[in-house]
């Protein structure tokens, strides 16, 4: 058994989760889920099946009632809140469905904020931000723009730039393409996979849209991981 091998980015064991201690059943019960460093996975399942909940467990914003979730060999639930926030900022990049950019800040300030949270005060930070923006095929003039002025496509790329700024070992991307037409979606997906490959980040990409699975070598259905009551959402 390779219990705590450094080849693994994620090792999940015997995890159960329910939102209310009083609720009669677990939403998630996952005996084992492992991801190797650099693995890129498409995680799918119907709306309401628990995908976002699982991402929150990975990011440490929710804690399981039982079991362990080790990221880079660290059980994140055992960290103090402050250490967990720091660990997340340093090692995990998250792109939310709604991007969560701070609307009244500039693009540069949005990305700087993510760097500061991780304690990243490198002298060449603004150079690195500009480099990341170019990597996302955006013009560096966008750095001075207020986030609220961006198109949806620009917001998506800025959200990825922000998630990438601390070279995260794990990228978590939650259903980011629903607002894009199919051409824009295609170039977005290719770009996302390319930047994660360049950074050797492990990627967990969540969607209910199975057509996006074409971009991934590896697909996992939440139902295949989850031994809790199946098809709970449809009942
Ligand atoms: P998905 O991402 O697959 O659409 P979610 O993880 O968002 O699914 O939700 C799974 C189930 O958990 C749904 O029934 C949802 O209503 C419920 N749920 C989600 N967030 C909360 C919460 N904060 N409190 C209680 N129930 C929640």
> From edge to edge, which strands make up the β-sheet containing 218-221?
92-95, 170-174, 202-207, 40-44, 218-221
**70 within a domain of the structure (yes/no):** no
Neighbour tally for 67: CB within 10 Å: 19
pLDDT at 233: 46
Whole-structure pTM value: 0.89
**5 within a domain of the structure (yes/no):** no
The residue range of the domain holding 154 is 38-63+81-221
Q: What is the largest CA-CA distance in the chain?
A: 54
Question: Does ligand 1 have an atom closer than 6 angstroms to the CB of 47?
Answer: yes
Give the C-alpha distances (Å, rounded to integers) separating 46 from 74, 179, 221, 222, 234.
30, 18, 9, 9, 9
pLDDT at 2: 45
**44 within a domain of the structure (yes/no):** yes
Cβ burial, residue 12 (10 Å; 0-12/13-18/19+): buried
137 CA to middle of ligand 1, Å? 34
Neighbour tally for 188: CB within 10 Å: 19
Mean pLDDT by 10 residues, the chain (235 residues): 70 94 86 95 92 94 95 94 92 87 95 89 87 93 96 91 93 81 83 91 90 90 83 45
Question: Does ligand 1 have an atom closer than 6 angstroms to the CB of 207?
Answer: no
Q: What is the distance between the alpha carbons of residues 221 and 219, in angstroms, rounded to a whole number?
A: 7
pLDDT, one tens digit per residue, over 4-62 is 567 899 999 999 999 987 777 899 999 999 999 999 999 999 888 999 999 999 999 99
Q: What is the distance between the alpha carbons of residues 233 and 235, in angstroms, rounded to a whole number?
A: 6
DSSP conformational letter for 212 = G
**87 within a domain of the structure (yes/no):** yes
- Domain tally, the chain: 1
19 CA to middle of ligand 1, Å? 8
Q: Which atom of ligand 1 is nearest to the CA of 50?
A: 6
**29 within a domain of the structure (yes/no):** no
With the most atoms of ligand 1 within 8 angstroms of its CB, the residue from 16, 25, 27, 225 to mutate is 27
**127 within a domain of the structure (yes/no):** yes
Protein residue closest via CA to atom 23 of ligand 1 = 19
pLDDT at 229: 58
Query: Closest Cα partner for 234 from 220, 224, 223, 225?
Result: 223
Q: Which two tokens stand for residue 57?
A: 């467990």
Protein residue closest via CA to atom 22 of ligand 1 = 19
Give the C-alpha distances (Å, rounded to integers) separating 138 from 135, 156, 196.
7, 11, 17
With the most atoms of ligand 1 within 8 angstroms of its CB, the residue from 15, 17, 19 to mutate is 19
The CATH number covering residue 53 comes to: 3.40.50.300
With the most atoms of ligand 1 within 8 angstroms of its CB, the residue from 48, 97, 178 to mutate is 48
Query: Closest Cα partner for 175 from 71, 89, 55?
Result: 55
Query: Closest Cα partner for 160 from 94, 88, 61, 89?
Result: 94
Question: Strand pairing partners for 146?
Answer: 106
Q: 77-115 in b/e burial notation, b at 16+ Cβ within 10 A?
A: beeeeeebeebbbbbbbbbbbebebeeeebbbbbbbebb
**24 within a domain of the structure (yes/no):** no
**229 within a domain of the structure (yes/no):** no
Q: Which atom of ligand 1 is nearest to the CA of 233?
A: 14
Q: Residue 81: CB partners within 8 Å, gap ≥ 6?
A: none
Question: Does ligand 1 have an atom closer than 6 angstroms to the CB of 100?
Answer: no
Question: Strand pairing partners for 174?
Answer: 206
């Amino acid at each position: 058994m390779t219990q705590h091998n450094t080849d693994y980015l994620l090792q999940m064991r015997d995890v159960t989760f329910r939102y209310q201690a009083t609720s009669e059943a677990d939403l998630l019960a996952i005996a084992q889920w492992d991801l190797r460093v650099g693995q890129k996975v498409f995680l799918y399942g119907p709306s309401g099946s628990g995908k976002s909940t699982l991402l929150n467990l990975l990011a440490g914003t929710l804690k399981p009632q039982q079991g362990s979730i080790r990221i880079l060999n660290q059980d994140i639930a055992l960290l103090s809140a402050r250490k967990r926030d720091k660990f997340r900022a340093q090692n995990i990049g998250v792109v939310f469905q709604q991007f969560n950019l701070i609307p009244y800040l500039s693009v540069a300030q949005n990305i700087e904020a993510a760097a500061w949270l991780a304690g990243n005060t490198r002298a060449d930070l603004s150079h690195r931000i500009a480099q990341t923006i170019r990597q996302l095929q955006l013009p560096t003039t966008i750095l001075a723009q207020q986030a609220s002025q961006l198109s949806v496509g620009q917001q998506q790329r800025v959200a990825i730039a922000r998630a990438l700024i601390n070279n995260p070992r794990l990228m978590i991307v939650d259903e980011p393409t629903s607002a894009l037409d199919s051409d824009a979606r295609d170039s977005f997906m290719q770009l996302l996979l390319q930047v994660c490959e360049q950074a050797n980040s492990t990627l967990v990409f969540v969607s209910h849209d199975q057509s996006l699975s074409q971009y991934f070598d590896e697909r996992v259905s939440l139902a295949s991981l989850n031994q809790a009551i199946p098809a709970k959402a449809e009942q």
